[in-house]
Amino acid sequence: MSRALNLSVRVGLPFRKRGDADEMLLETIHRPADLRGLDHDELSTLATEIRSFIVQATSVTGGHLGSNLGVVELTLALHRVFDSPRDILLWDTGHQAYVHKILTGRRDRFDTLRQAGGLSGYPSREESEHDWVENSHASTILSYAHGVATALHLSGAEAERRVVAVIGDGSMTGGMAYEGINNLGHSGRRVVIVLNDNGRSYAPTISRLSHGLTNLRLKPSYVRNRDRIEHVLGEVPVIGEHLQLGVQGLRAAFREFLEPQNFFEALGVRYVGPVDGHDVDEMEHVLRSVKDHNGPIIVHVITQKGKGYAFAEDDEDKCLHDAPIFDPVTGPPPWAPTGYTEAFSEAIIAAAERDKRVVAITAAMPSPTGLIPFQARFPDRFFDVGIAEQHAVTAAAGMAMGGLRPVVAIYSTFLTRAFDQANLDVGLHHQPVVFCLDRAGITGDNGPSHHGVLDMALLLRVPGMTIFAPSSAQELQVMLGEALAITSGPSAIRFPNGAARRVPLEQVGSGLTARRVRQGDDVCILAVGKLLEAAEDAALLLDEQGVSATVWDVRVVKPLDPDMICDAARHPLVVTAEDGVRDGGAGAAMADAIADLDESRQSPPVLVLGTPDRYIPQAKPAQILAELGLDGAGIAASVIKTLHAAHSPLSPR
C-alpha cells in the first residue's frame, strides 16, 4: 500500500472497491479525460483523495500546501469543461497548480516535488504539454493570456481553442493584472478569467478591490434569494420573461452600487459571480455557460485556502501557504522566523524602538520576511501593500521625502520587479530608503525564478547606493543600524535564507569597512556575505597544500573598503567569491577597483567566482553551490588550478 493510501487510512478517507483490492479512485486518473465519466459522488470522493495526497506529498518534500488544498474542485471543473492541452490553461500564481499536475499524468512523480531533477513546484514547459507558463512571480498571467489569445486570433485558431487564465491567491493585488485586464477589455480577445478569490496571498489580501469583490461572499442569502426570485418570476405566464429581465436590471443597478462603477465591466470585461469554488457541479455549469462567450469574461470564484486540512484552516496567519517537511498527523510546527530572518526581525524592532520614524514595508509577505512581530508591536508603522513591489518602493521614497525612515523588506528575486523604482524613484532623488533583501543568493527548492542572484549586479548600477552583505546574524543587526544612519541616499542589506552563523563579538565588523579574517601571502580571497564560511574552509584546504591564503570578509560591496583593495593587490593572485551573478557583480567591481590602483591598470590576476549566466534549476542550496564550485572545496580547487596555470611552462609570461 502506498504512503498516500496509508494516510488515507489514518484520516478515514473513502475507498472504491475494485475486485478483491481496495483502490483509490485517484489511482485511476492518468489524464484529464479520465475525469469526464465520473458522477457527483465520485468527484466528491476524488476531491477528498486529492487533498489527502497533497498533504502527504508536501509533508515529505515541503511545498505550497494551503493554496492547492483550496483549488481542488475548481481544477476538477476546469479539466472537465475544457480540453487541455488543446485549450490553454494558465495559472497565476503557478504555485496553485499541484492539482493540475496530478490530473495531467504527474502523480507518480510527486515524491520528487521540488527536488533536484524532480517536479517543479510551478508549471513547467519542460515537464508537460499541459503547462504553458512557469509563472512563480505573480500578476502576469492576464498579459500572457492576452498575448496567447491574440496569437490564436491572428492564426485563425480562435474558434477551436480556448484560453483560460486562473488568477488568485493575491495575484489581483499586482498592478500588472489590471494592465492585462485593461488590454483584454480593449481588444475584446476571447479569454475566460477565473478569479480565485480566497482573500489571501501569503497573508490576508491587501486590496479595497478584493474587499469590494467579496462583499457578497458574506451574504450567501443574497445569492440564493436572487436566484430563487428570478426563477419564480420567470415562471409567471406571459409576462414572466419581462419580470425576470426587470429584476436582472435592478440587480445590475444594485451591483453598480455595491461594486463601484462595476469595475470589470467598465473595462469591457464581462463579470459573472460569485460562484462557490468548492461545488464542482455549480462550477461546471458556470464554466460551460461562459466557455463560448465572444470576448473576455471573469468568473469570480470563492474558495477557502487550506480547505479540508484542519491545521491549514486554523492557521490564521497564512493557511499553511507553504510548509516545511512535517508530520501530516500533527501538522507543521508553528511558524517563527529563523536564521538571518530572525536576526532582521529582532533588529528592526530594536531600531523602531529607538527611532519613531522607522517604518516597515512589505509586498504581501509579512511572515516570510519576519515582520509579523514588528506588525504586532508597531501596527501603525507597518505597511503591507499586497503583491505590488513597484508601489512599495516608490511609496517608500515618498515616506522618506516626508521624513520617515522606511525599511522595505522584500525577497531578492522580487526586488528585480521594482528595479526602475529603486533606481529612479529612490536613487535619483537620493532618498534614504533601506532595502532588506531576504533570500539573497542561491535559494534552492523553488528553482530558477527564486534564486536571488541579480541584486548586487543591479544595485551596483544605482549611483549612491550602499550595499551591505552580512556573514553572520550579528553582522546583519549591526548593518541595519549603519544603513539607517545613512541619510545621503539608499542602502541595501542582502542576506540568505536558512541558518545564520553566530560569532563572537570580535568577529563582528563596524561601519563601512571590510574585516580581514586571516593573513597569508600566496592568494587573497575576498568573500561576500554567506560565502565567507566557504572561503575560510578553502583557506584551510589550501594550507594543507602549502598555499598561504589571506581571507577578507568584504562586508560592504559598495563602496568598497580601500584598505581591503590595497591589501588584495599585494598578492600574486586575488579570488573573489559571491553567491550572485559573476558577470557585472561584486567580484567584477572588486577586480576593477584593484586595476584602478595603477594608472596603467596593471594588477595581479583576479579570478571572479560567482553564479554563471544561465538559469539554475532547483536543488538544495549546498548542492548547487558545490556544483558551481562555490563551496570550500570548489574555491580551493579554483585557486590551485589558477596557480598551476600561472606557473605552467606554457603559460604566458
Q: Which residues are catalytic?
A: 305, 389, 417
Structure-block grid coordinates of residue 598: 595603477
Please list the alpha-helical segments (H only) found in 402-439. Answer: 412-415, 419-420
Task: List, in sequence order, every residue forming a beta bridge with 88; answer none if it has no partner.
Answer: 163
- Under 8 Å CB-to-CB from 647, ≥6 apart: which residues? none
* 175, 480, 490, 587 from 460: Cα distances, Å: 27, 19, 12, 11
DSSP 441: B
C-beta of residue 423 within 8 angstroms of C-beta of residue 394: no
Query: How far apart, in whole angstroms, are the C-alpha atoms of residue 632 and residue 626?
Result: 8
- Under 8 Å CB-to-CB from 182, ≥6 apart: which residues? 267
Structure-block grid coordinates of residue 112: 520528487
* Region of residue 605 (left: phi > 0; alpha: psi -120 to 50; beta: else): beta
Q: Within 13 Å and on the Cβ side, how many CA atoms surround 637? A: 9
Query: How far apart, in whole angstroms, are the C-alpha atoms of residue 592 and residue 595?
Result: 5
**Distance between first and last Cα of the chain:** 68
* Region of residue 4 (left: phi > 0; alpha: psi -120 to 50; beta: else): alpha
C-beta of residue 470 within 8 angstroms of C-beta of residue 340: yes
C-beta of residue 192 within 8 angstroms of C-beta of residue 299: yes
Query: How far apart, in whole angstroms, are the C-alpha atoms of residue 496 and residue 449?
Result: 15
Helices 586-595, 562-569: crossing angle, 10 deg rounding = 70
**What are the DSSP E strand ranges found in 202-243?**
none
Q: Is 336 helix (H, G, I), strand (E, B) or coil?
A: coil
CA quadruple 173, 179, 182, 187: dihedral sign: negative
Determine which helix (DSSP H) or strand (DSSP E) holds 553, and give its type and residue range: strand 549-553
Residue 49 C-alpha from the chain's centroid: 27
C-beta of residue 50 within 8 angstroms of C-beta of residue 59: no
DSSP 106: I
